[in-house]
């Protein structure tokens, strides 16, 4: 009997899972943050969900070139009044319409804001910007 009491004091029969749970929670947080960073490098769009892929989301694409040319869905637009008419017509056909503005980096900020304003006047409130997903270079100080 004395042997059984001494062997139970020297032997550890339980496994402490607290460090394992702590490590798993830290890894989960790291994966959640990195997944958010990877997703944020793409265009900010809400893609439709469909089991069979029957429904597609319509996008009103506006392209602004540094030369002053403006295109809507690959069609040249003369001025902002024509853009407004096209936006209203497209919004009338689809109430869930979203716009994507792809502007050349040489296009002035004011022109991009003006196009955003025209799209909002046309009833399109969901606007995203087309970007080239490249890695940013460090900023020189």
What the chain holds in terms of domains, given with CATH numbers, is: 59-129 (3.30.420.270)
Location of structure tokens 């004011």: 110
How high is the pLDDT of residue 2?
A: 47
Residue 123, pLDDT > 80, answer yes
**pLDDT tens digits for range 61-98:** 888 888 888 888 878 888 888 888 888 888 888 888 88
- 114, 83 in Cβ contact below 8 A? no
pTM for the full predicted model: 0.54
Residue 42, pLDDT > 50, answer no
Of 49, 95, 96, 99, nearest in space to 73 by CA: 99
More confidently predicted of 51 and 30: 30
Residue 45, pLDDT > 90, answer no
Sign of CA dihedral 39, 91, 103, 110: negative
Residues 6+ apart with CB under 8 A from 65: 71, 104, 107
What mean pLDDT is predicted for residues 3-17? 65
- 34, 71 in Cβ contact below 8 A? no
How high is the pLDDT of residue 107?
A: 85
CA dist 81 → 5, 70, 99, 121 (Å): 93, 12, 17, 11
Give the separation between CA 100 and CA 113, rounded to whole angstroms.
13
How high is the pLDDT of residue 46?
A: 55
For the chain, how far is it from start to end, CA to CA, in angstroms?
A: 76
Q: What angle do CA 120, 125, 131 make, to 5 degrees?
A: 100
């Amino acid at each position: 009997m004395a042997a059984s009491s001494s062997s139970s004091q020297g032997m550890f029969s339980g496994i402490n899972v607290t460090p394992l749970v702590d490590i798993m929670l830290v890894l989960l947080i790291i994966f959640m943050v990195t997944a958010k960073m990877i997703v944020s490098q793409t265009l900010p769009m809400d893609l439709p969900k469909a089991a069979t892929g029957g429904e597609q989301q319509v996008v009103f694409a506006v392209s602004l070139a540094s030369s002053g040319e403006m295109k809507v869905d690959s069609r040249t637009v003369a001025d902002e009044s024509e853009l407004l008419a096209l936006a209203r017509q497209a919004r009338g056909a689809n109430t869930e319409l979203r716009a994507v503005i792809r502007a050349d980096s040489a296009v002035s900020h004011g022109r991009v804001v003006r196009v955003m304003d025209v799209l909002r006047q046309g009833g399109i409130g969901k606007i995203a910007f087309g970007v080239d997903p490249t890695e940013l270079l460090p900023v020189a100080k």
